[in-house]
Amino acid sequence: MNLKDPFISDLDRKIIEITGYGKRRGFGEKPALMVVDSQKQFVGIDRPILESMAVYPLSIGEQAWKALTKIRMILDKARKKRIPILYSTSSVPVSEMVFNSFAKKRHKHETSGKMPDDLEEFPDVIKPLEGEWVIHKRYASVFFGTSLMTFLNTLHVDTLLVTGFVTSGCVRAFVVDAFSYNFNVVVAEDGVADRFDFAHRLSLIDMDLKYADVLPSDEILNYIDSL
């Protein structure tokens, strides 16, 4: 965490010092890599965000593609070390649109009931390989209403390496739940992105203070190498 970030005031710094928030928890011995909601509808095209949104209205664009470069590097290392790799996708079947919580806050794109066929496809650079699991979810956290916890227990995982989209939404929801289940949670600072810059930056600060270790991908790669 960068305590010099302009979002952190002098008063905030004093409170952080008094409370002790932001302490490093560290890595465990049995990691899994989680790639959150990295399908095309959220990634978009490698162009500025408004240009990407013209093609994929809920996408992030070039900032997501910068993160994908880091995600691919982590994926390559994790595959060599045979670390379990899990992906999530976020979509709601047309027949269940009435239950879609996001539709109550986002008045476009969720309520039409029609989605392009490739919304759950991943960009080729990070496409899952055979033996890697894709978990389909309907709400923000990958834990909510899925079998993820059973998978992680079966794999004896104690550490979750987190990448994907969007930082302030589904990534943060996953991180808070993972923390609540007492995993060591490590977020790749440069392996996540958001549509809103302010939300991205504030969410990284908040997660690093309370729920996770937010680290550059190089530190995560070094950890994987050490296994």
Three-state secondary structure of the chain? CCCCCCCCCHHHHHHHHHHCCCCCCCCCCCEEEEEECCCHHHHCCCCCHHHHHCCCCCCCCHHHHHHHHHHHHHHHHHHHCCCCEEEEEECCCHHHHHHCCHHHCCCCCCCCCCCCCCCCCCCHHHCCCCCCEEEEECCCCCCCCCCHHHHHHHCCCCEEEEEEECHHHHHHHHHHHHHHCCCEEEEEEEEEECCCHHHHHHHHHHHHHHCCEEECHHHHHHHHHHC
Q: Quick check: 155 and 149 in contact, CB under 8 A? A: no
Assess whether pLDDT exceeds 50 at residue 201. Answer: yes
Which of 28-42, 79-93, 148-162, 184-198 is the least confident region?
Answer: 79-93
Task: Return the pLDDT at 94.
Answer: 64
Assess whether pLDDT exceeds 90 at residue 165. Answer: yes
Q: Where are the domains of the chain?
A: 28-116+128-226
Token representation of residue 196 = 């809103």
How would residue 4 be classed by pLDDT, with cut points 50, 70 and 90? Answer: confident
Instruction: Give per-residue pLDDT as tens, 87-120.
Output: 999 876 666 666 666 666 666 555 444 445 555 6
Q: Quick check: 39 and 97 in contact, CB under 8 A? A: no
How would residue 121 be classed by pLDDT, with cut points 50, 70 and 90? Answer: confident
How would residue 3 be classed by pLDDT, with cut points 50, 70 and 90? Answer: confident
CB atoms within 10 A of CB 44: 26
Collect all residues with Cβ–Cβ distance below 8 Å to 143 and sequence separation of at least 6. 149, 174, 177, 178, 181
Assess whether pLDDT exceeds 60 at residue 63. Answer: yes
Task: Return the pLDDT at 117.
Answer: 55
Mean pLDDT along residues 22-34: 96
Task: Return the pLDDT at 111.
Answer: 44
Which of 4-8, 64-68, 81-85 is the least confident region?
Answer: 4-8
The answer to whether domain 28-116+128-226 has CATH 3.30.465.10 is no
Side-chain-side CA neighbours of residue 66 (13 Å): 13
Assess whether pLDDT exceeds 70 at residue 86. Answer: yes
